[in-house]
Amino acid sequence: MLRLAVSAFAIVAAVASTAFADTVYVTSFSTGELVRYDSTDPAGTKTVLSGSGSLIKPGALAIGPDGNLYIGEDGDGATFAPRISKFEPATLTLSTVYAFAGFEVFPGSLAFQGNDLLVGRNPFFGNTGPIVKVSNATGGVIATSDYTTGGSLASSPGIALAANGDLLVSNQTYNFGSGIASGPVVRFNAAGTYVGEVIASGSSGLAGPTGLAINGSTLYTASIMNGQVLRTDLATDATTSHASVGAPFEVGALALLSDGGLLAGSPSGSGSIYSFSSDGTLRDTYASGLGQIGGIAAVAAVPEPTVFAASIPAALGAAWFIGRRRQR
Distance in angstroms (rounded) separating the CA atoms of residues 22 and 28: 19
Tens digits of residue pLDDT in 202-227 = 999 999 999 999 999 999 999 999 99
pTM listed for this prediction = 0.87
Closest by CA to 28, choosing from 295, 316, 328, 301, is: 295
Closest by CA to 251, choosing from 280, 210, 279, 213, is: 210
Distance in angstroms (rounded) separating the CA atoms of residues 188 and 167: 5
- Report CA torsion sign: 309, 38, 86, 131: positive
Q: Give, rounded to a whole angstrom, the gap between the first and last alpha carbons of the chain.
A: 12
pLDDT in the model for residue 27 = 98
Tens digits of residue pLDDT in 59-86 = 999 999 999 999 999 999 888 999 999 9
CATH number of 18-305, picked from 1.10.300.10, 2.120.10.30, 1.10.3720.10, 3.40.190.10:
2.120.10.30
Distance in angstroms (rounded) separating the CA atoms of residues 73 and 59: 6
pLDDT in the model for residue 178 = 96
Distant-in-sequence, close-in-space partners of 199: CB < 8 Å, separation ≥ 6: 184, 185, 206, 209, 221, 230, 232, 237, 239
Where the chain has pLDDT below 50, the residues are 1-17, 304, 306-328
pLDDT in the model for residue 302 = 58
Pair 14, 305: CB distance under 8 Å: no
Tens digits of residue pLDDT in 263-289 = 999 999 999 999 999 999 999 999 999
Cα–Cα distances in Å, from 190 out to 49, 131, 234, 296? 35, 13, 15, 25
pLDDT in the model for residue 269 = 96
